[in-house]
Amino acid sequence: MTEPSINQEMGAVLKSLGIDSINPGASTGSGWFPGTRDRIDSYSPVDGSRIASVEIPGRDVYESVINTAEKAFAEWQLIPAPKRGEIVRQLGVEFRNYKEPLGKLVSYEMGKSIQEGLGEVQEMIDICDYAVGLSRQLSGFTMHSERPFHRMYEQYHPLGPVGIISAFNFPIAVWSWNAMIAFVCGDVCIWKPSEKVPLCAIACQKIVARVFNKNGIPEGVSNLIVGDYEAGKHLAGDKRLPLISATGSTRMGKSVGETVGARLGRSILELGGNNAIIISGHADLRLALNSALFGAVGTAGQRCTTTRRLIIHDSVFDEFRDRLVHAYGQLLIGNPLDETMHVGPLIDKDAVRLFKEALKKIKQEGGIPIVEGEVLEGSPYESGCYVKPAIYLVRNDYEMVQHETFAPILYLIKYNTIEEAIRIHNDVPQGLSSSIMSNNLRETELFLSHAGSDCGIANVNIGTSGAEIGGAFGGEKETGGGRESGSDVWKCYMRRQTNTINFGDRIPLAQGIRFDIGE
């Protein structure tokens, strides 16, 4: 493995993370994976710098990582859950200690604003706290047996090594949503981060490894495989991994779902969204404006929960459109490490190409530009990844509107009745996050009812973007049906066992069946 090149600024950040090399080393149970190329270069979309270049060694490393993980699982699952929780508590302390450099690294490597980078680390801290409490609450039900002198109950056991495939837009938080829960459940993890943000993953792996080592935990509880989609495909097909939790595009999810399903493994799929806010004639337009604005341009439109469609009542359409256009005019686009900026870059030039293509197609379909989007050039946009967010008046049935373009393009659609708004809302293939802005109880309750939003997340008077870790996070239809993070999601990371104990001196069969053999 060659020593990677790291530019000066990131060198300082990595140093403050206690990382002197980006080679995570065999001692942390980490490895790289041979994909379609022999090296992964990480470029910052902020300024175009190459911040790391990692050579990928052979498949034997993958095998040794999985073998180490399997051995580690045998030991880790024997540690009582509250003690595993104690290790996760210490991870939370370390993430607190490293919040600033880690947040900065996220911002620099992925391109989201520094506040969002820090917010992502905060989510990791929050899920650690949540998992610590959970480690004392992994409880099952007891139920009454139909047979005398019998007791029935169910319990949850650790599942095994869990594969985590993550997307570029949340380089570290989504991993932590999975890994911290899996750790307290007694599982070990093998993380395949996005090839676009490997350095963030390496930094986390280093921090985690230090905590595990300090506690004398066997190598291989937390593992990292850096590679491209080939590495992800390999994880999906690996029978030694009973669960694959995959976050990314619907295209990726279909492939992972098929592969894992074919081997009858379990998967948690967290895929693309096409999220809308219904802005009713009864809405507080000030709240609606803030929600729509952050939802549409935050993270430069690169959140799975980004607001992509505004379904606006005819009576407030013109006023709301004008206020929105005015707000778009105030947006500051630039270096996301500068806190005064509202919009940072897209992840790479490929994303910029897709943005441009989407705008062209939407125009061809009849979309009317309200705010023209464009690619920004010259200083300080030399990386070629900065774009001006766009707004289009469209019909919901346009092909591009049905599709998730991972960029800041907002579609406006008019409606007249709440039933029509809900129908338009649900008439897309995806089903992640949804929202209604209204102070009318009849409308808001209808939206939350079975006849309302068909999404995994439905909000009233807050936007679609972002979520708290305490709830189950995920969506329906082409969003994949998976759930991560809080609520009872931990059950996905364990295997359920139903136990029946006979403390009598007879063997009565269930359902009154008799099977008499003379004694």
Q: Is 302 helix (H, G, I), strand (E, B) or coil?
A: coil
Is residue 226 at the binding interface for ligand NAD, with CB under 6 A as the rule?
Answer: no
From 185, 189, 204, 304, active-site residue = 304
CB of 247 to ligand NAD, least distance (A): 5
Is residue 169 at the binding interface for ligand NAD, with CB under 6 A as the rule?
Answer: yes
Among 432, 457, 458, 469, binds ligand NAD (CB under 6 A): 432
Cα–Cα distance for residue pair 270/189, rounded to 1 Å: 17
Is residue 119 at the binding interface for ligand NAD, with CB under 6 A as the rule?
Answer: no
| Residue 151 near residue 501, CB atoms below 8 Å | yes
The reply to whether 270 belongs to the active site is yes
Among 211, 271, 343, 362, binds ligand NAD (CB under 6 A): 271
CB of 188 to ligand NAD, least distance (A): 19
Q: Is 409 helix (H, G, I), strand (E, B) or coil?
A: strand
The reply to whether 304 belongs to the active site is yes
Q: Give the residue among 272, 316, 312, 303 at the shortest CA–CA distance from 411.
A: 312
Among 252, 278, 385, 494, binds ligand NAD (CB under 6 A): 252
278-337 positions binding ligand NAD, by CB under 6 A: 304
Q: Which C-beta is closer to ligand NAD: that of 22 or that of 211?
A: 22
CB of 245 to ligand NAD, least distance (A): 10
Q: Contacts for 510-513 with beta carbons within 8 Å, 24 or more apart?
A: 510/146, 510/147
Q: Which C-beta is closer to ligand NAD: that of 135 or that of 465?
A: 465
Is residue 168 at the binding interface for ligand NAD, with CB under 6 A as the rule?
Answer: yes
Is residue 56 at the binding interface for ligand NAD, with CB under 6 A as the rule?
Answer: no
Q: Which C-beta is closer to ligand NAD: that of 101 or that of 301?
A: 301
Neighbour-count burial of 407, counting CB atoms closer than 10 A to its CB (0-12 exposed, 13-18 middle, 19+ buried):
buried
| Residue 256 near residue 267, CB atoms below 8 Å | yes
- Choose one: 162-170, 325-333, 374-382, 440-448; the region binding ligand NAD (CB under 6 A): 162-170
395-414 positions binding ligand NAD, by CB under 6 A: 404, 406
Count of Cβ atoms closer than 10 Å to residue 397 Cβ: 12
Q: What is the secondary structure of 178-189 as a DSSP string?
A: HHHHHHHHT-EE
CB of 440 to ligand NAD, least distance (A): 30
Query: What separation in angstroms does the CA of 475 have from each of 305, 306, 481, 482?
Result: 10, 13, 5, 7
| Residue 430 near residue 254, CB atoms below 8 Å | no
Give the tokens for residue 18.
Answer: 């206690």
CB of 144 to ligand NAD, least distance (A): 39
Count of Cβ atoms closer than 10 Å to residue 269 Cβ: 25
Give the tokens for residue 458.
Answer: 């439905």
Is residue 272 at the binding interface for ligand NAD, with CB under 6 A as the rule?
Answer: yes
Phi, psi for 408 (deg, rounded to 5): -80, 75
Residue nearest ligand NAD by beta-carbon distance = 232
Phi, psi for 306 (deg, rounded to 5): -50, 140
Determine the size of the site formed for ligand NAD (CB under 6 A): 31
Among 228, 238, 454, 478, binds ligand NAD (CB under 6 A): 228
CB of 353 to ligand NAD, least distance (A): 13
Cα–Cα distance for residue pair 220/69, rounded to 1 Å: 5
Q: Give the residue among 335, 319, 339 at the shortest CA–CA distance from 327.
A: 319
Q: Which helix (H) or strand (E) holds 255?
A: helix 250-262
Return the beta strands (E) in 113-208 as ranges: 142-143, 150-158, 161-165, 188-192
Q: Which residues sit opposite 375 in a β-bridge? A: 387
Is residue 47 at the binding interface for ligand NAD, with CB under 6 A as the rule?
Answer: no
- Choose one: 191-199, 278-286, 326-334, 499-507; the region binding ligand NAD (CB under 6 A): 191-199
CB of 255 to ligand NAD, least distance (A): 4
Q: Which C-beta is closer to ligand NAD: that of 40 or that of 312?
A: 40
Is residue 16 at the binding interface for ligand NAD, with CB under 6 A as the rule?
Answer: no
Is residue 465 at the binding interface for ligand NAD, with CB under 6 A as the rule?
Answer: no
Q: What angle do CA 205, 252, 363 make, to 5 degrees?
A: 120
Phi, psi for 209 (deg, rounded to 5): -60, -40
Q: Give the residue among 474, 467, 489, 470 at the shortest CA–CA distance from 184.
A: 489
From 270, 443, 478, 484, active-site residue = 270
Is residue 458 at the binding interface for ligand NAD, with CB under 6 A as the rule?
Answer: no
- Choose one: 4-12, 188-196, 201-209, 408-416; the region binding ligand NAD (CB under 6 A): 188-196
CB of 516 to ligand NAD, least distance (A): 55
Is residue 479 at the binding interface for ligand NAD, with CB under 6 A as the rule?
Answer: yes
Is residue 273 at the binding interface for ligand NAD, with CB under 6 A as the rule?
Answer: yes
Count of residues for the chain? Answer: 519
Is residue 358 at the binding interface for ligand NAD, with CB under 6 A as the rule?
Answer: no
Tell me the catalytic residues. 270, 304
Name the residues that contact ligand NAD, by CB under 6 A: 165-170, 174, 192, 194-195, 228-229, 232-233, 236, 247-249, 252, 255-256, 270-273, 304, 404, 406, 432, 475, 479
